[in-house]
Amino acid sequence: MKFGIIKERKSPPDKRAVFSPKMLKAFKEMYPQAEIKVESSDIRIFKDEEYEALGFEISNDMTDCDVLIGVKEVPVNALIPEKKYFFFSHTIKKQSHNQKLLQAVIDNDIELYDHETIVDANNKRLIGFGRYAGNVGAYNGFRGFGIKYDLFSLPKAETLQDKDALVARLKRITLPPLKIVLTGKGKVGMGAKEILDAIKIKEVSADDFLTKSYDVPVYVQIDVLEYNKRKDGKKLDNKDFYNNPKDYSSDFERFTKVSDIFIAGHFCGNDAPVILSQDMLKSKDNKIKVVADISCDVDGPLACTVRSSTIAEPFYGYYPSENKEVDMQHPAAIVVMAVDNLPCELPRDATEGFGEMFLKHVIPAFYNGDKDGILNRAKITEKGHLAKRFSYLEGYVEQKETVPQV
């Protein structure tokens, strides 16, 4: 079987890859029977020469590969028929802008595997860039605070080498006694926590965070049942929340009354309640000054996320009383950071970490008969049709239904 690491063609350019030279070498050492070639790229964070130095063939022709592995969507005109492809297709939620991509995949007899659909038997995602989104999102939260209040100046994350460099820069600044609330305990939330812990910000319990004053910066990391409550007052478990989100409403307002920075690292499922409403933000009791929305669900659980922002222009202001975007320096503006491709700012670390996960969870399936069902569960299309697990996309592919603008 021949594997090809393809170049990223989506605009704006993405410097990440699925495998770094080091992890690709580990792949070859683990499975010496595998043939591997790398498509030439002038934007990848790792240069062609770095792969070549480890013995990998660099080429502009990938037509002889069986499996083609990339990060972002492959443009329709670059698809090679009758191949296996791995990339983030952004189609499984019926995203309107990629409808034609999924149609083309089917028309070209392509077997599509989406990184997002690589899950274990319990449907838990096995690979992703969430940790690195959390790293950069937390850094950007502090950067936005420094700009808004003219307290300190931090360089853009994308100008720094890696996570250690982000931490080193943050350690140079002097923070006032901020209170930081962090939602989520998945990969994104834990990635943000890594940064907070690395710069020695004190972690406190929710009760202490809500009731005590501190003369140093502190943070609290809260899970779904700390920022949501059942409408009937019953106290059950996380599983009940995930199974019955409509039975819950937000319990986050108590945190808005004492927090300066909100780092949003939660996952928001269908029918989950709004977490941070316009009413909470325009309340005279609201203390939140910066929202680093790593999850970045536009028109989703955070009222202030009115649009996604970009790496070039990561911040905008939100004016709660009129529910609209304003300049972030507006006196009544809350600073919002809602970049939807944060891991691109740490391409070196993100590539290393992603390759490690891909090698651990996906590559073995090609050599062990897919004994754990990894490939079978992840496969969206095969032989010109949708796989059974993704048959719900049929109307979307055939344009027989209205698709959401995501």
Alpha helices in 247-390 (DSSP H): 253-256, 278-282, 347-361, 363-367, 374-378
Residue among 10, 25, 90, 185 flagged as catalytic = 90
**Cβ density class 304-338: b for 16+ within 10 Å, e for less:** bbbeebebeebbbbbbbeeeebeebeeeebbbbbb
- Residues 266, 267, 270, 275, Cα dihedral to 10°: 10
DSSP state of 79: P
Residue among 7, 15, 37, 72 flagged as catalytic = 72
Tokens of 180: 């930081």
334 — phi, psi (to 5°)?
-95, 135
Residues 6+ apart with CB under 8 A from 331: none
Tokens of 281: 């933000």
72 is a catalytic site residue: yes
The answer to whether the annotation marks 107 as part of a ligand binding site is no
298 — phi, psi (to 5°)?
-65, 135
- Residues 38, 41, 46, 51, Cα dihedral to 10°: 30
Q: How far apart are CA 10 and CA 45, in angstroms?
A: 15
Q: Which residues carry out catalysis?
A: 72, 90
| Residues tagged in the binding site annotation for NAD(+) | 223
